[in-house]
Amino acid sequence: MSNEPTDYDGAWKELMEVYWRPFLELCFSDVASRVDWRVPVEYLDQELQEIVRDSDLGRQRVDKLVKVRRLDGGEEWVLVHVEVQSQPDAGLPLRVYQYHHRIADRFGRRVATLVVLADERAEWRPDTYEEELWGCRVRFDYPVCKLLDLERAEGLLEADDNPAAVVVGAHLAAQATRGDMDLRKKLKWQLTRRLYERGYNRRDILELFRLIDWLLGLPEGLEIEFRGELNSFENEKAMPYITSIERLGRQEGRQQALREDILDILEVRFGAVPERVQSLIAATTEESRLKHLHRRTVLVDSPAQFESEFA
C-alpha cells in the first residue's frame, strides 16, 4: 500500500463534499464569511464535467463547482469553482482563467475561482493570469491558499478544531514522509489520537479517520503495529469507533461495518430508519457502492432522499 502514489485527489474531493463549509473557513475565510449558510449549497459536479469534456484543456485533477447564496446578494446565486493543485504546473493560471469564463458563460452567473496550492515548493505561488497584445490587455487575479503557509503558522493546524485542518495535516504529513514510513506511522498516530482528544463525535471520527487512512498508507508490518496501538487506546477510552470489524482487513468485515456505519449515521440524523431502507442497505454487497452510500448519509436531507440513491 505504501508503495503506491498517495491519492491526494480523491481525498480532497471527499473533503470538499463532506466538509465544504469547514474547508472554506480554513482556506478561504473571507469567502466563507460572505456565504449565506442558512441556504443549502448545491454541488454541480456533473455540470462541471460537461464543461471539462467539451473543452480542449484536458482532464482536471481536483476541482469542485458549488452553488451558494451570498449573504449580501438577496436571491443572487454565486458559483464557487475550487481547484486543488498538488504539483507545480506552469499552465495553471491560464487554465483557471479559461474555466472561470467557461463556467460563467455556461450558467450566466458570477463565478469565484479559488485555488489551493497543495504542492511542496514554497516559492511557487501563481495568483494571476495576464496577457497583452498591441495595447489590448487582460488580467485575472484569483485567491490562493498555500497549504505550506498553514503548516508554518505556529500551532494553527494542531490547535484548530476545524475538521478540514485534520485533512490538511494528513496531506502535509503524506508529502513529508514519502521516504520515512516510521515517521509516517508516528504522525498518523498523532492525527488519529487527536480526533478523540478534540471531542469529535463518532461520525466525524470515522469520516476523518477514513481520510487520514486514505492519505497515510503504511506497509503491512507498520499498519499492524498501528492498529494494535489504536485498539489499546480505544479500549482505554471505552470508545471503540475505528477498530471495529471493518478495520481488521477482511472484505466481508469491511462491508458489514460500512452497513452498520450507514445505519448509525442515518439513525443519529433522522431517527428510526425505515425497514425498506434497512433492507436495501443489507442487500448491497459491493464495497465501492457502500462507500458511496456512506458519504451520502451526511449529505442527504431525509431518509426518502437517501432511498432515492437506490433508484
* Segment 136-164, tens digit of pLDDT: 999 999 999 999 998 876 566 676 788 99
Helix residue ranges, H only, the chain = 8-18, 20-27, 29-32, 45-54, 92-107, 147-152, 156-159, 163-176, 181-197, 202-215, 220-237, 251-270, 275-282, 287-296, 303-307
Return the biggest CA–CA distance within the chain. Answer: 71
Task: Tell me the backbone φ, ψ of residue 133, rounded to 5 degrees.
Answer: -150, 120
* Residue 26, all three cell numbers: 480554513
* Segment 89-135, tens digit of pLDDT: 899 999 899 989 988 998 888 899 999 999 999 999 999 999 999 99
* Residue 173, all three cell numbers: 504529513
Helix residue ranges, H only, 177-249 = 181-197, 202-215, 220-237
C-beta atoms surrounding 80 within 10 Å: 21
* Cα 262-13-225 angle, rounded to 5 deg: 65
Q: Which amino acid is at 7?
A: D
Q: Check residue 159 and give its pLDDT.
A: 64
233-255: average pLDDT: 63
* Residue 304, all three cell numbers: 426518502
- pLDDT for 79 beyond 90: no
* Segment 30-61, tens digit of pLDDT: 999 999 999 888 888 778 777 766 555 444 45
- pLDDT for 293 beyond 80: yes
- pLDDT for 1 beyond 50: no
H or E stretch including 92?
Answer: helix 92-107
- Please compute Rg for the chain using Cα positions: 21
Give the C-alpha separation, 47 to 228, whole Å. Answer: 44
Model confidence band, residue 174 (pLDDT cutoffs 50, 70, 90): very high
* Residue 105, all three cell numbers: 458563460
**Mean pLDDT value across the chain:** 84
Model confidence band, residue 243 (pLDDT cutoffs 50, 70, 90): low
Q: Which of 304, 299, 215 is nearest to 10 (CA)?
A: 215
* Segment 210-223, tens digit of pLDDT: 899 888 988 888 98
Q: Which amino acid is at 44?
A: L
Give the C-alpha separation, 123 to 130, whole Å. Answer: 19
